[in-house]
């Protein structure tokens, strides 16, 4: 049973002029073949089904690896099932654009570096070839996504896509959406038809896998609790980005010309889960003898100590048609994204811990950043999405949540949580980590006073002994 919208509008749109042209562009859109069947499976009579396009842009070409329909959480349905959102009319769909935008943001949080929400798709009982395309405000859509990013990405050069699958004639129509053109006082959104092909691209993807550590960052010691940590969040991200820009990235142990194609690299495997793997490493000039002592980012605060230890993984699905230059950009983006996500989760856990301390009194707290786990889409290319789990949390929960967000059944996903295996042993090997809890200031003051009294007593006894010696000897 599909959920039918009541058609009530929750957004107010400004008037925008829309233009449609059949002019062909040089761009090509490659869509994994099984996604054609996925679009057909969404058809529900005369209903309008929205969804999110996920993939990469390499050069001028788009590579779509997944389509995710907007779903309604099970707890919002009487039958307890995860249902696809559907609308009775096109106007209902447009009036509820905020729901589609929110779905897009949920998808973004699972994406590895180099991958993006490329646009929106709609399965509707008509095609857009002979009518004006759906007038979703893509400028508002773009602002919403960028406004909720965990860090500031560089502006991308590509335009969004709009993919229409017509249940009337069982055909797909694809457009690029140029929403930044200005036409006098009004903004013009231009839709251009674009060549697209559904095909098998199983061997067209590799996974760039490696690690980085917070040794590239300096120790930061502050007081003031979570609010103070949040206030320096941007500084941490800037410092990490600077460290990345100063590093050299090696592929399978070699530093390569930036114009080398990724398809020219020999690939490895990691267990049974990841094939077509290219190993990446960061090299950075360091001051010998000091870097090892600063191999973690350590943040101290009032009643406890926050330790963001260094071993974190990179996992970047990447199209073989890209170059080393393209890949390094994606790797840097992945490092920034995984760092920003862990930092956000870290700060949220601090806020929760602070409330516990207020209730229970002084508490010594050592936090550990969540570890990365992969949700691998097994149909088509083995594309790896990313989620995170704190120590003690069941990664299976992340698999279930990702399945809901991506509209993927469990049989078409695989959980891989071994990527950061051994990180605990890595942390324990760091000699500079002080595991002793901070002393309460009153206890410390009392201890200092005792030491002073003992020192004075020893001095007085020494003087008395000297005087007695002079009298009786």
Q: pLDDT tens digit string along 321-341?
A: 999 999 999 999 998 898 888
Per-residue pLDDT band for 310 (boundaries 50, 70, 90) equals low
The pair of three-digit structure tokens given for residue 422, joined into one six-digit string? 């051994």
Taking phi over 0 as left and psi of -120 to 50 as alpha, with beta for the rest, 392 belongs to left
Task: Out of 67-76, 230-239, 352-361, 385-394, give the one with best mean pLDDT.
Answer: 385-394
Per-residue pLDDT band for 115 (boundaries 50, 70, 90) equals very high
- Residues whose CB falls within 8 Å of the CB of residue 327, separated by 6 or more in sequence, listed in order: 114, 208, 251, 262, 316, 318
**Under a CB-based contact definition with an 8 Å cutoff, are residues 321 and 101 in contact?**
no
Terminal CA-to-CA distance of the chain, rounded, Å?
108
Q: CA dist 151 to 8, 112, 343, 467, Å?
A: 34, 14, 11, 73
pLDDT at residue 10 in the model: 35
Distance, in Å, from the CA atom of 226 to the CA atom of 151, rounded to the nearest integer, reads 19
Per-residue pLDDT band for 112 (boundaries 50, 70, 90) equals very high
Over residues 278-289, the mean pLDDT reads 73
**Under a CB-based contact definition with an 8 Å cutoff, are residues 197 and 163 in contact?**
no
Q: CA dist 201 to 27, 113, 262, 331, Å?
A: 18, 20, 15, 22
pTM check: above 0.85: no
Distance, in Å, from the CA atom of 230 to the CA atom of 125, rounded to the nearest integer, reads 48
Q: Is 153 helix (H, G, I), strand (E, B) or coil?
A: coil
List, in sequence order, every residue forming a beta bridge with 318; answer none if it has no partner: 206
């Amino acid at each position: 049973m599909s959920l039918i919208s009541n058609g009530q509008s929750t957004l107010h749109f400004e008037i925008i002029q829309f233009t449609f042209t059949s002019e062909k562009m040089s761009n090509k859109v490659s869509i994994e073949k099984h996604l054609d069947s996925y679009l057909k499976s969404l058809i529900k009579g005369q209903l309008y089904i929205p969804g999110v396009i996920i993939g990469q842009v390499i050069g001028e070409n788009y590579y779509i690896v997944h389509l995710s329909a907007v779903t309604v959480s099970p707890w919002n349905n009487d039958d307890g099932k995860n249902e696809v959102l559907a609308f009775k009319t096109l106007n209902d769909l447009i009036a509820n654009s905020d729901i589609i935008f929110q779905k897009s943001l949920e998808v973004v949080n699972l994406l590895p570096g180099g991958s993006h929400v490329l646009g929106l798709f709609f399965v509707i009982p008509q095609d857009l070839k002979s009518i004006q395309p759906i007038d979703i405000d893509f400028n508002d859509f773009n602002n919403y996504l960028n406004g909720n990013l965990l860090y500031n990405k560089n502006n991308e050069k590509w335009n969004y896509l709009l993919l229409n699958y017509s249940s009337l004639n069982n055909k797909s129509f694809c457009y690029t959406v140029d929403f930044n053109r200005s036409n006098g006082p009004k903004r013009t959104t231009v839709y251009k038809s674009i060549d697209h092909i559904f095909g098998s691209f199983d061997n067209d993807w590799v996974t760039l896998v490696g690690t980085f550590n917070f040794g590239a960052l300096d120790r930061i010691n502050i007081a003031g609790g979570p609010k103070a940590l949040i206030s320096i969040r941007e500084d941490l991200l800037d410092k990490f980005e600077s460290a990345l820009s100063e590093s050299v990235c090696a592929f399978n142990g070699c530093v390569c010309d930036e114009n080398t194609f990724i398809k020219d690299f020999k690939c490895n495997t990691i267990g049974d889960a990841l094939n077509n793997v290219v190993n990446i490493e960061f090299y950075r000039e360091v001051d010998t003898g000091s870097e090892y002592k600063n191999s973690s980012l350590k943040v101290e605060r009032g009643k406890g100590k926050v330790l963001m230890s260094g071993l974190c993984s990179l996992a970047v699905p990447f199209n073989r048609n890209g170059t080393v230059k393209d890949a390094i950009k994606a790797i840097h983006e992945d490092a920034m994204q995984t760092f920003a996500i862990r930092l956000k989760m870290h700060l949220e856990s601090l806020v929760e811990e602070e409330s516990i301390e207020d209730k229970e009194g002084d508490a010594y707290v050592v936090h550990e950043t969540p570890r990365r786990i992969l949700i691998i889409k097994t149909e088509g290319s083995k594309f790896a999405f990313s989620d995170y789990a704190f120590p003690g949390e069941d990664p299976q929960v992340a698999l279930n949540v990702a399945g809901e967000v991506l509209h993927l059944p469990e049989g078409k996903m695989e959980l891989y949580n071994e990527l950061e295996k051994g990180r605990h042993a890595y942390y324990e090997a760091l000699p500079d980590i002080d595991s002793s809890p901070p002393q309460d200031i009153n206890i410390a003051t009392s201890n200092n006073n005792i030491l002073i009294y003992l020192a004075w007593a020893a001095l007085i006894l020494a003087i008395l002994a000297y005087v007695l010696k002079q009298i009786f000897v």
